[in-house]
Amino acid sequence: MAAESPKFMRLLLQGRRALAPALILLLMVALAPTGRAGEPTWRHGLSLFGALKYPTDFAHYDYVNPNAPKGGTLSQGAEGTFDSLNPFIIKGVAPTTLQELCFDSLLDSSADEPDSAYGLIAEAVSLAGDRRSVSFRLNPKAKFHDGAPITAEDVAFSFDALVKEGDPRFRLVYGDVEAAEVIAPGEVRFRFRSTENRKTPLIVGAMPVFSKTFYATRKFNETTVEPPLCNGPYRVAKADIGRTMVFERVKDYWAAALPVRVGRHNFDTIRYDYFRDRTVMAEAFKAGTYGWREEFTSKTWATAYDIPEIADGRVIKETLEDNRPSGVQAYFINTRHARFADWRVRQALSFAFDFEWANKNLFFDQYERMASYFENSDLAARGMPAPEELALLEPYRDKLPPELFTEAFAPPMTDGSGDARANLRIARKLLIEAGLKVENSALIDPSTGEQFAVEFLYFEPAFERIMAPYARNLERLGIKALLRLVDPAQYQARLKSFDFDLIVQRYVQSLSPGAELRGFFGSRAADEDGSFNLAGIKDPVVDALIEKILSAPDRPALLAATRALDRILLFGHYMVPQWYKGGHNLVYWNKFSRPATKPRFALGLDTWWIDPDKAAALNARGKAID
């Protein structure tokens, strides 16, 4: 679903960031008390604002094939690089999906419910009646890949390691947790600083669990090429740094028969071949270098797959529906730089971007315009503020733009002809009002006496065709526009230290936003190196609305608070909105099968399998694709 955006964000989400997908999918969950204080009531799962879909004795999720055969290889391409096998610290870049494949958490989220989670390492969970703590009772069968049992001590150690030595974002995510403590053999309790964040119990339920013994002789906060000791469905089989990553299915995986794991993780081997360029990666797929690909570039999707293998059925090309929130994809503007501090400057940058022309001429009309930080969901602010939103916004009226109360947000539009003169006139007016001077058709920054300049930072050459027309419009305004192509390692370093002007990124939001919002938009995150608050937003009103979302007592309150936050962010003009689409564009060699039912809120690749008959037929035609 990430359309025309650098895959680096995906690397961050699945590798260095080490929050996704398992953690991000569960950050959205909150729950009601399950018993009186001192009298725990153990449950097999928890849900936000409602009942669980699956009963205590459920056999498997509805979207899996419980009889799916095991075996074969799922081979994919990955863009970028990796230089470490530690996905839980800020240093280094870890391989795609290492955490997801190799580390289990206390609870597992259902992909056909927006807000439910069920026991994994923890066979049962209990929220204290006063909401001041949550307890987990561990499954006695849970073990690491070396056969050692997973203990309550391991869980407590994992929390401490993440908070004290892990990526700084973990301190934000677990900010409402006071401590993790062992209360009995196989039982661990997390004590909370407050009860305002209803999602805290499931935030810790989504936490990956490490071996305390393993890290007794290793430093948790250092990059390493040593495979970690894990407890999930896969282990690291091979790591050719920056080139190839191979995972192998754990044959005696302890959780294979659990309801949350039946019918999933069917491939014996999962391999990623790394590429520095999208075009090369697409050509490698067509050549049979790897077998399964999700295509994120509209031009490639529209023009590059007119190949005999699709015509004769050896390769399948299809689009599957994506019901997840698209979130936000945009040119994020770094407000830490003084020249972008004025909202009029930021809004002017939006008027210079001609989406309609780009969609018609570059994207084959495949996309919709993004107009929300929570696009493709009921969380998005639409039209004028509803009474419930106004009730939240009114106390801050004197701190908010007046138009937020009188206008529905809409990004600037053009007729798609490529003549954006009307919008550029508005942009120049805004820039002059912000204090820039016009000298010989150039816009001069009075504070420096130099031409106002904007640098686009990127590491994918394919993105130049999208940035270049935007840069030309900025040049027409009198702005010096620079396209700065760097290698992935330099890109990552500059991203972590916020050394950029404009950068393209995408935030995928959850169905029920939670503490991750502090990392995306909170004031504290603006000063944390490596945070996802790329725009450097430091607004106490934003902080207050985030807390309203976290403490929402029901779904309507959550929607109202999220929409109110959306409006504040949109009218702050912290980004130039780009585009989105609600589908997964897939191409794959015809050796796969999948369940009849797709999970509503996920692609569900972990439920696919190698179909022996299809694989044999493909091999018979001379294409033995690993």
237 pLDDT higher than 70: yes
Instruction: For CA atoms 463, 466, 467, 469, give the dihedral sign.
Output: positive
CB-based contacts of 21, cutoff 8 Å, min separation 6: 13, 14, 100
DSSP 504-571: EEEEPPPSS--THHHHHH-HHHHTSTT-S-TT----HHHHHHHHHHHT-SSHHHHHHHHHHHHHHHHH
Q: What is the pLDDT of residue 515?
A: 86
Q: What is the pLDDT of residue 19?
A: 37
- The residue type of 599 is P
446 pLDDT higher than 50: yes
Q: What is the pLDDT of residue 196?
A: 83
- Going by pLDDT thresholds of 50, 70 and 90, the confidence category of residue 608 is very high
- The residue type of 355 is F
Q: What is the pLDDT of residue 16?
A: 36
Element (H, E) at 403: helix 403-406
- Mean pLDDT for 466-490 is 96
Q: What is the pLDDT of residue 50?
A: 73
- Mean pLDDT for 241-261 is 97
Q: Which domains does the chain have, with CATH numbers?
A: 1-49+57-319+582-626 (3.40.190.10), 328-578 (3.10.105.10)
Please state the pTM of the whole predicted model. 0.85
Token pair of 200 as six digits? 């805290």
Q: What is the pLDDT of residue 510?
A: 85
**3-class secondary structure per residue, 444-511:** EECCCCEECEEEEEECCHHHHHHHHHHHHHHHHHCCEEEEEECCHHHHHHHHHCCCCCEEEEEECCCC
pLDDT tens digits for range 72-116: 999 999 998 999 999 999 999 999 899 999 999 999 999 999 888
Q: What share of the chain has pLDDT > 90, as a percent?
A: 81
Q: Cis omega before residue 55 (within 30°)?
A: no
**3-class secondary structure per residue, 574-597:** CEEECEECCEEEEEEECCEECCCC
Q: What is the pLDDT of residue 394?
A: 98
- Mean pLDDT for 25-46 is 58
Q: Out of 371-375, 462-466, 489-493, give the one with best mean pLDDT.
A: 371-375
CA distance 534 to 515: 17
Instruction: For CA atoms 398, 404, 407, 411, give the dihedral sign.
Output: positive
- Mean pLDDT for 109-129 is 93
Q: What is the pLDDT of residue 488?
A: 85
Q: What is the pLDDT of residue 227?
A: 97
Residue located via tokens 């993440």: 162
Q: Is 152 helix (H, G, I), strand (E, B) or coil?
A: helix
pLDDT tens digits for range 277-295: 889 999 999 999 999 999 9
Q: What is the pLDDT of residue 538?
A: 98
- Going by pLDDT thresholds of 50, 70 and 90, the confidence category of residue 46 is confident
Token pair of 437 as six digits? 């001077």
23 pLDDT higher than 60: no
Residue located via tokens 């974002």: 169
CA distance 23 to 109: 9
Q: What is the pLDDT of residue 38?
A: 53
pLDDT tens digits for range 504-529: 998 888 888 988 899 999 999 999 99
pLDDT tens digits for range 549-562: 999 988 899 999 99
Q: What is the pLDDT of residue 4?
A: 52
Neighbours of 441 (CB within 10 A): 9
186 pLDDT higher than 50: yes
Please give the C-alpha separations between residue 405 and each of 5, 556, 571, in angstroms, as whole numbers. Answer: 32, 20, 10
- Mean pLDDT for 364-369 is 92
- Mean pLDDT for 495-502 is 96
Mean per-residue pLDDT over the chain, rounded: 91
- Mean pLDDT for 135-153 is 98
- The residue type of 517 is L
